[in-house]
Amino acid sequence: MYPTGPIEALKHQLDTLCETAKKGFVRLNTPCQVDSLIGWLNVQSVLPHIYWKSRDADAVEHVTLGAVKAFDSLVALQADLAALAGIGGEQPDYFGGMAFDPDSPGWQHFPGCHFLLPRIELRRQQAGATLSLNLRFDDRCPEAEIVQARVCLAALEEEQPLPCLLPHVYQREDHPAQKEWAASVERVTHPDHLSHTPKVVLSRETCLTTTETPNPWALLARWQAGAADCFHFGVQLTTHEAFIGCPPERLYKRKGRHLMTEALAGTTRRGRDAQQDQTLADGLLADKKNSLENQCVYQQLLTQLEPLSAQVQMSEAHIVKLCSVQHIRRLIHAELHRDVTDQQLLSVLPPTPAVGGVPRESALAFIRHHERHQRGWYAGVFGKISHASSELAVTIRCAHIGPEAIRLYAGAGIVAGSQPDEEWRELDTKIAGIMSLLGMG
């Protein structure tokens, strides 16, 4: 159970803060005991709710509540980062994400870009868990900021077990249907189209309607248990809508001026046993179509990073094995120029060729014209940004959950040699894990 002790400790620190001069960002911390961060998050009433955990083995697990400040543009976010860095002292973490197409986000309650400085943070690493209260003193009345912080503290609830995932009956509908999908693949692979746009990533929305959707946090907890090598994220901006996922793909990780990104493209299924699994992996690396798909991604990333970097290096291709699929991956490392910001990186890198296509503008034009469903934050980005370091994932392997429907998304890179039926089966493979959790495997 989540004890009340840490809350009282933060209240005491807040009382002490009232008696001191206040400027910039202030974080009050206290250790706490908690069994499940997601279980704690699920019972809280203060919105927004955010969950974030990197795929690294030693990654810090984060949940956040509320917002001290929110930003719907990268310009405003970068300005706040710079302002607090200029003041000095401890620097905050900002959490959030962006739509696949920020100019046309598509989902009602999800802006094209949304990052926030959370009011409450609960973080867990190997040494234990820490509950934090964040305050931001700028041009606002400091007394009002402290009052708002007190209100959030008073609203915190004790941790409760997550609800069970009960069986539901779902009605499935794919957008596009398989016949329309085949027509789009044929358009992309027509020689005239390939002559100017060698790769387009087409996507499918699988809509599962039901009388009552499952608890999104209980679903994420089950999902992440079988996706240890992936990022785990969840965001709930309103009471009845959530976006969760376990994506394998990193957009970038920055520590100081060192940046890591990757070309993750080219897919096959997992084998029934170790021998078949290795045969499929070897075939994936040797396959011309999948190699071309990966090449389109890494060439574009290298082109985008070169003007921003003093040095860029790339690894050899290797296989990443996930629960139901295997991917080709190349790791890319760059030393950024001193003045490069996260705003610049997020303005240049997404959407990557792994989720959009090559060249970007002509691929996006095809997607905007031919895809009838709204991608929203699918194939966008989500993660954590700070002055010293940042990390964001590409939001694939995800689910958009409303009160009466779950929407699952999957994409396939269409290049010369792509076959409609094979690509359709790849889409099913990519959503197989979450479909199994929903009882539709």
Q: What is the C-alpha separation between 282 and 66, in angstroms, rounded?
A: 47
The active-site residue, picked from 249, 293, 391, 423, is 249
Element (H, E) at 364: helix 360-370
Rg of the chain over CA atoms, in angstroms? Answer: 22
The active-site residue, picked from 53, 69, 199, 253, is 199
- Lookup: tokens for 199: 């790769």
Cis omega before residue 359 (within 30°)? yes
Largest CA distance in the chain: 72
Q: What is the per-residue DSSP string for 133-157?
A: EEEEESSS-HHHHHHHHHHHHHH--
| Residue indicated by tokens 């296509």 | 357
Catalytic residue flag (residue 289) = no
Catalytic residue flag (residue 262) = no
Q: What is the per-residue DSSP string for 181-250?
A: HHHHHHHHTSHHHHTT-SEEEEEEEEEEE-SSPPPHHHHHHHHHHT-TTS-EEEEEEETTEEEEE----E
Three-state DSSP at 292 gives helix
> Which active-site residues does the annotation give?
199, 249
